[in-house]
A and B are shown apart, each in its own frame.
Chain A
Amino acid sequence: MQANSPFFRRNVSIQGVMLKVLAALLPAIAVYVWFFGTAILIQIALTSIAALAGEALILSLRDKPVAIFLSDGSALVTAWLIALTFPPIAPWWLTVTATLIAIIVVKHLYGGLGQNPFNPAMVAFCLMIVAYPQMMSQWPAVGFTDFAAQVAAIFGERHIDALVMATPLDALRTGLHTPEAHATVAGIFGAGASFGNIGGKGWEWIAGGYLLGGLWLMQQRVISWRQPVAFLGTLMLIAGIASLAAPDRFAGPLFHALTGGAMLGAFFITTDPITGATTPRGKLIFAAGVAALVWIIRTFGAYPDGIAFATLLMNICVPLIDMATQPPVFGHKED
């Protein structure tokens, strides 16, 4: 029997927190399905099964209570984030391998739940985009929702060249980086079929879904306001200054905020408690750092989006940020 106080506790659990995070992803998933078809659901199912299977396997190898840890929901969060960051028509073995690596190597070889210094989904993304750059950049065109074709792309022979389309970030980077192109941001936006109102056809609405879910998580006090505000604020500030200075060379702040993985990063990646900074000031610094790196990678880097790389780079800095930003303790504020 419990010997020491406190003898009662608030009714909260890790499982509850994780389930809320999953629930907050639902609006974006619904929009995803609307614009890009059911492939994303297949990917979510694949990554979920792979994550749970991998987690169960390694938990039993590590002699940990399988049922308790399997039901904590953390593996599912990793699985869903992988599904949502990978191209929905990526071959099944790609997402499954990525998920197994995330769970087994990045999470459990570092000690399991709560111990991993790097965001598992982001490591999986980086690894795969380095290993399979082509497959990781084959994104479906808006309206490519044919179920049979998607299933074939995931499980069968991949004849998908007609179905894929450069994402807005891709189009922008290619256009601006090709030396002979002399393209301008406005020119690329006008020419590209994938550009919607602000951040890319379909993608801007998915970003809206993440925003909605993220705001709900904030209201539920699962996540702090600090990382999303610092992330989006920094990203838009840098993008704003750059695009004001050279509108032909740099895309504007709203485009950056509503395209690629920005919203997902703002509300679901930088807010990961395990791999992010924990102090109030540290959260601001961490998310602002990710945002700055995202803009740099998007603008000058070799890859179109930079959420994953930026997150990992800032993950490395977390112990330092936390150490340097410990808030003053009661009674020691004037020290």
Chain B
Amino acid sequence: MSRRLFNFNGGVKPPYNKEASLGEAIADFFAVAPMPAEFVIPLHQSVGGPPHPLVKAGETVKKGQLIGGPDGNVSSAVHASTSGRVKAVEMRLMPHTSGLSALCVVIEPDGKDEWIDHAPVPWRSMSPGEVRDALRDAGVVGLGGAVFPSHLKVNPGKQGHLDTLVINGAECEPFITCDDMQMRQRPDGIIKGAAILRDLTQAKQVLIGIEDNKPEAVAIMRAAVDRLQAERIEIVAVPTRYPAGGAKQLIRVLTGIEVAHGKRSTDYGVQCFNTGTAHAIHDALELGRPMISRILTVAGNVDRPRNFEVRFGTPMNDVVALCGARPDSDRYIMGGPMMGYRMPAETVPVVKATNCILVGSKAMFPPPPPEMPCIRCGECAKACPSDLAPFELFWFSRAKIFGKAQEYHLFDCIECGCCAYVCPANIPLVDYYRFAKSEIWARENEKSAADTARERYEFRLAREERDKAEKATRLAAKAAETKAKLAEQQAGSDAKKDLIAAAAARVADAENKTNAS
């Protein structure tokens, strides 16, 4: 069956380098490696509010136990990756370029790896809201790299049902093969998860998009759909072109719909989940297992690139140690070479967003040649999958003309890196956009902070005014009261005088009478 596919403009074809890590099956990290000395589980692993710690140092926890409670609805729970003792709840270095620390639960494993009691979630008999709560409490977030809380996306939209549910198995980033391997080895869980999502979102059709450089995954997934007799689920091979795995690009390719920045895709009747997320949703609902591990690729400058299933909180260098990092390795990159982040240390923990630990070296990723001026050749515009004019954005960002940058749709930039990849002037274009975006956010924050401050000040002025007025009335009332009292006293004393006078008069009268007698 051939389906009409659509095209997105731009994109690039970088060397994919995927074969190396496809040789070996996914290994359960704990089956092949010693238990790490400690798990450092950051509480804030998803988009949204940081969860609050539910355990204290010294407590014992079981595998799958809730250790971070979601902070409101736009947040997601965090669980213990194994059983053991909570060593500390403290600030630890995060797997992020910034080198910032954040609150982590540090667990010293007891080696028993003992599950907490868990049971399948009877999601079919639950209300949609209850299912969403269950997913939130199971800590299910998008495993494609964006770690957006999944429960917020399990939503049929305004019309009560989705037209198309897109399951993203495109995996367009070079080096990364975790989705490919999961589709090859664990297709049933993905298809079942997709079926659950289909039912939860009332989707008319489910399209699982896979880049056509993964023919094995396509064939295996198709066979699984047939075997499981999954209805309204179709595997679609899409042309291999980075960033075909961007949610917006994949939705465009499969449905022709372009989801604008700032709009919900459900408003267009579509929604998109990563294949790994679909699997995790299946595990959370059908098996009752919270999200405590993920599949990740170790690739790049290592002797044995491969995929592991790794628990969150495992130090990255423990994982890399099994793959044999070459001596000239000088960095870990979380994610792929196009959109990944350089890690501040090799010991940072694996988190929900860690789809790949890419080990780099100077030889593999040579430092870019010196940055030259932009010659407006327009290569970046040709490569931009969002149809932006990257060189104009660069110009405005560099000159800090942020209004213009926004006018030229800075925030539609998905930071895929295509523009910088093709730039003959070696300009780190995406860095300029990140800078401009963060400056704009900072200014907006500043502005809203200033607004808040102004409102506070105005409120204070008003309150002072009010207080003054109240005080004045109070004083006036008091004065009036005092006056009245005084008047009364006055009146009282007058009465006394009268009495005295009367008495005196009486006395005088009596005297007179006496004298008269």
Contacts and interface: CB of A to CB of B under 8 A. Distances in A.
B423 A273 contact: no
Main secondary structure of the interface of A (DSSP, over half): loop
B192 to A, nearest CB: 32
Interface string B427-438: 010110010000
Size category, A interface: 35 or more
Given A2-B365, A7-B337, A10-B12, A332 B260 contact: yes
Interface string A27-41: 000000000000000
A17 B424 contact: yes
B386 interface: yes
Interface in A1-31: 1-10, 12-14, 16-17
A24 to B, nearest CB: 15
Interface string B326-366: 00001101011111111000000000000000101000010
Interface string B203-228: 00000000000000000000000000
Nearest to B419: A6
B122 interface: no
B375 A273 contact: yes
B409 A329 contact: yes
Contacts of B425: 14, 114
Given A328-B387, A330-B386, A331-B261, A8 B421 contact: yes
Interface string A317-335: 0000010001111111100
Contacts of B388: 329-330
Contacts of B342: 1-4
B330 A1 contact: yes
Nearest to A69: B372
Nearest to B367: A2
B128 interface: no
Nearest to A275: B376
Most B CB contacts (10 A, CB to CB) among A13, A74, A224 go to A13
A72 B370 CA distance: 12
A329 B430 contact: no
A278 interface: yes
Contacts of B338: 5-7
Main secondary structure of the interface of B (DSSP, over half): loop
A3 B373 contact: no
Contacts of A331: 248, 258-261, 263, 386, 412
B97 A13 contact: no
A72 B337 CA distance: 27
A7 B333 contact: yes
B412 A329 contact: yes
A72 B374 CA distance: 12
B315 interface: no
Given A13-B424, A330-B412, A331-B260, A5 B337 contact: yes
Given A3-B97, A329-B412, A278 B389 contact: yes
Contacts of B431: 4
Contacts of A9: 368, 420-423, 426
B412 A14 contact: no
Interface in A178-224: 224
B381 A278 contact: yes
A214 B14 CA distance: 27
A109 interface: no
A13 B370 CA distance: 10
Given A6-B420, A8-B421, A113 B378 contact: no
A148 interface: no
B34 interface: no
Contacts of A68: 370, 372
B424 A12 contact: yes
Interface in A288-322: 322
A330 B387 contact: yes
B408 interface: yes
Contacts of A13: 369, 424, 426
A307 B453 CA distance: 60
6 contacts: A2-B367, A5-B339, A278-B389, A279-B389, A329-B387, A330-B388
Given A17-B375, A17-B377, A331-B259, 20 more contacts: A1-B342, A2-B428, A3-B342, A4-B97, A5-B417, A9-B423, A10-B12, A12-B423, A72-B372, A114-B425, A273-B376, A278-B378, A278-B392, A322-B392, A326-B408, A329-B409, A330-B412, A331-B261, A331-B412, A332-B409
Closest 5 CB pairs of A and B: A331-B260, A6-B417, A114-B373, A330-B386, A7-B365
